[in-house]
Chain A
Amino acid sequence: MKRLHGFVLVFAAAGIASATSATATDLEQAMAKPSNWAAQAGDYANHRYSDLKQITASNVGQLQVAWTLSTGVLRGHEGSPLVIGDTMYVHSPFPNNVFAVNLKDQSFKWKYEPKQDASVVPVMCCDTVNRGLAFGDGKILLQQADTTLVALDANSGKVVWSVKNGDPKIGETNTNAPHVFKDVVITGISGGEFGVRGRLIAYDIKTGKKLWQAFSTGPDKEMLIDPAKTMTWTNGKMAAVGADSSIKTWKGDQWKLGGGTTWGWYAYDPKLNLVYYGTGNPGTWNPSQRPGDNKWSMTLMARDLNTGMAKWVYQMTPHDEWDYDGVNENLLVDINFKGKQVPAVVHFDRNGFGYTLNRDTGELLVAEKYDPTVNWASKVDMKTGRPIVDKKYSPATTGPDVNVKDICPAALGSKDQQPASYDRKSGLILVPTNHVCMTYEPFQVEYTAGQPYVGATLTMYPTPGSHGGMGNFIAWDPAAGKIAWSKPERFSVWSGALTTAGDIAFYGTLEGYVKAVNTKDGKELWKFKTPSGIIGNVFTYEYDGKQYVGVYSGIGGWAGIGMAAGLTESTEGLGAVGGYKDLAKYTTLGGSLFVFSLPSRSGSSNVTAQAE
């Protein structure tokens, strides 16, 4: 965290206004203590890794329920609670209630129950997930579904400030967690299926004053792109994007409905002062209706925290034909690449490729399939950075009203929002994945504000000719671009992973199991069946000398609609063996938090103290 004085001077001399101080913020101090889980990923870098090691590969088999809590809401529960000191901050799907829980006795310190107009729900059609809270500057940040961003006093739950960053009447909603980096709160927007124009928005954490806003499509000025300085991978090297890099890749003013929404997990590198995030699909799923590369949808962005200016961009899927949003999380890891230490960013895209780029310069280093059955592209051309699309699986080639079959992965991607975890000990990344293929039939649609702007009919089913399941939990080597091991799962693994210094990785399944596996080989060490499917992220903390592991149990999210598709598509002759429809055999709706720990031995406090 410590910055060299020389660097500070250089920045000042360059005239870059820096609101950030050299001293650690309260969030940074909280994140530095492994007893806390102070940010959704536990840190700025999206590692989801904990130094806690009371629970290890050898004793995790004894894990048992310590306590539980009901959120009172029966919808999809994504994200995880936060833990700071003796308080846990729990959130719920719409209506987005927040509870501050005293860890001493699980009593509520305060509750915040916002009144939101229910008319926002159909625009989210139809699950009402919320990916969690953020902490910073003594505040708890809540991004409500209705696009209101609220800062609550962490001690009292009282509203300190509140701002509106979108308009549900035109289909703009929020599902993302706000992120706090230094003294800045970053949030995004959802609504890629309603023709909204995606953007990232930054607010001053002290006052809620808007600092900057960067659109994903449109004129350079509105995108905070400098045509001469913003770089992208071009013919094997970095080059400036040039003027109107977005507008030139759209027909007419279609960029205004361009999508490129921003509902993922963001990351921040304090040394480079860069924020990393991905943009979603371009507006309308009918590719023939929007010729061009549709920049900068489906793009990984690196922006300056203070100014929002884009340092570099990289588009994973030009001219999307499959709904392969680029929003998935970016993990900031330092790797040894061909004998050199490289500050890297690793990104598992919906399109089935795992990318490694230099996070400082934006150079493309690795792009390999993290599911070998991915077939829409044979590979990524490392010189151009573009995928080599297989025409057989290209709805843009066959055109509207033609049903293209057996495209892998399905629109929900080889991975969706469920975040991966970087095991700092082994250097492996543990990735929860989908193993699902689809048929895709695009058709012409007209835009009406606030109405769905989709334009494709899809069916999804387990990857044919594989293990019959719809998911895998894999370990990935980011420098080599190779799968180290892969553990098949019956359903998509829609839950975020956690790795710990105890050499274990945790994740949840749609049937409702929370599982612990050995990080080095994927061997299952422990599992527990919660009442509902798990789409939340596993987290860990320590309280009163004891390590706890927790996760939300409450099925929903896109996996829910996948189930529905499974229920009805048997007429298509695709069969539903192992499909989402089987979920009905295993689980039902829920809304609870489960917290686990090792059993207390008799006279535990003494024994534990000695053992420590």
Chain B
Amino acid sequence: MALALCSVAVNADDGGASGGKETAAKETAAKQAQGSTALYQVKDGNKVDPQTLMGWKTWRALACERCHGAEQEGLVGPSLVQSLKVLSKEEFHSTIMNGRPDKGMPPFNTSEMVNKNWEGLYAYLKGRSDGQIQPGRLSPIE
């Protein structure tokens, strides 16, 4: 059938417009990336570390774009570019596992892929939110 139908996106916000904040975020992420505890590593905007790569693959496999948009900009679900600026890692974890049924977000705690890779998914979305990782297809850092 139809991959259905995220209702209308006519009024979906374009999540990309964060202007000057984005530059600051980029610097922060760049600093993080240099440190040993970097959340994610990224080169040329589309080559990432293995954990983040699995995070992107999890995003893709669970078809998250159906509600959150192909570039995480939000459709019937909220923009994750925005949400990841305020959501803590713990809050992210509990949201993806338990969902927000009242708002239409399903729980993903039965998915093996999510259980295995949720931290990579968090890293990927953080990288998207920081403006460090480009939308679309990713490949491993050589």
Which residues of A come within 8 Å of B, CB atoms? 75-76, 118-119, 121-129, 175, 190-193, 261, 263, 280-281, 323, 325, 327, 403, 411-412, 416-417, 441, 443, 445-446, 448-452, 454-455, 457, 459, 533, 555-558, 560-561, 563-565, 567-569, 571, 583-584, 587-589
Contact = CB atoms under 8 A, between A and B. Distances in A.
B101 A124 contact: no
A86 B67 CA distance: 42
B2 interface: yes
Contacts of B70: 457, 459, 564-565, 568-569
Given A122-B104, A564-B75, A558 B5 contact: yes
Nearest to A323: B3
Interface of chain A, main secondary structure? loop
Interface stretch (B35-43, B47-55, B87-95, B106-114): B106-114
B112 to A, nearest CB: 7
Contact of B75 (A76, A126, A583): A126
Interface string B54-77: 000100111101110111010111
Contacts, number: 156
A457 B59 CA distance: 11
Interface string B112-128: 11000000000000000
Given A451-B110, A564-B6, A589-B10, A327 B1 contact: yes
A533 to B, nearest CB: 8
A192 B1 CA distance: 6
B78 to A, nearest CB: 13
B8 A125 contact: no
21 contacts: A76-B7, A76-B8, A122-B101, A125-B67, A126-B5, A416-B2, A417-B2, A443-B61, A446-B113, A450-B110, A452-B63, A459-B70, A533-B8, A555-B10, A556-B7, A558-B3, A564-B9, A564-B70, A564-B75, A587-B10, A588-B11
Contacts of B141: none
Contacts of A416: 2
Contacts of A441: 137
Nearest to B77: A126
A521 B105 CA distance: 48
Nearest 5 A-B pairs (CB), nearest first?
Answer: A127-B5, A564-B9, A126-B6, A452-B63, A122-B106
A463 to B, nearest CB: 19
Interface in B1-37: 1-12, 14
Contact of B106 (A119, A190, A558, A563): A119
* Interface-central residue, B6, B104, B110, by most chain A CB under 10 Å: B6
Contacts of A557: 2, 5
A196 to B, nearest CB: 10
Given A563-B10, A588-B11, A124 B5 contact: yes
